[in-house]
Amino acid sequence: MVGIITGCIVASVLTVYVLNTLDASDRVELDNVKMSFTTIIYAKKEDSDEYFELQRVQNNENRIWVDYADIPQSVKDAAVAVEDKRFWTHSGIDLKRTLAAVVNYANPFATDMFGG
C-alpha cells in the first residue's frame, strides 16, 4: 500500500513538473524541420482502413531511400569506376595499388598524388 501511494505521489509530482516546464515555443513546426531524407506522413481515412499521404517533409533536396538491390547495376558500376577499376575483382584491398602508393611515397615516380 505504501508503494502504491508513493508511486502515485511521484507520478503526480512528475506530471506537474512536466506541465509547468512545457513551453509553447518548444513545439515542432514541420515546415522548419531540417532533414537528410524526405519523410512522408500518412493518415488513415476515417471511413475506411485506407491510408493516404498527408504531407511530405523535406529539406532543400528531395532524397528518398533506395535499397541496394533496387539500384541499377550501371549506376553501381559508374560509382565504382570513378574510385577503383578493380573493385569487383579484389577482396576489398587492392594490394597492387597499395604497394604502388607505398613505393611512390618513398620514391616518387608519378607527378600526381591521388587519394587525398
**Is residue 56 within a helix (H) or strand (E), and if so which, with residue range?**
strand 51-57
pLDDT for residue 39:
82
Residue 92's alpha-carbon distances to 37, 72, 84, 95, in angstroms, are: 29, 21, 10, 9
| Three cell numbers, residue 72 | 541499377
pLDDT for residue 83:
75
Contacts by residues 62-65 (CB-CB < 8 Å, ≥ 24 positions apart)? 62/38, 63/36, 63/37, 63/38, 64/37, 64/38, 65/37
pLDDT for residue 116:
45
Helix ranges (DSSP H) in 22-94: 73-83
| Three cell numbers, residue 14 | 512528475
Residues of the chain with pLDDT under 70: 24-26, 28, 30-33, 110-116
Domain coordinates in residue numbering, the chain: 2-57, 68-106
pTM of structure: 0.35
pLDDT for residue 24:
62
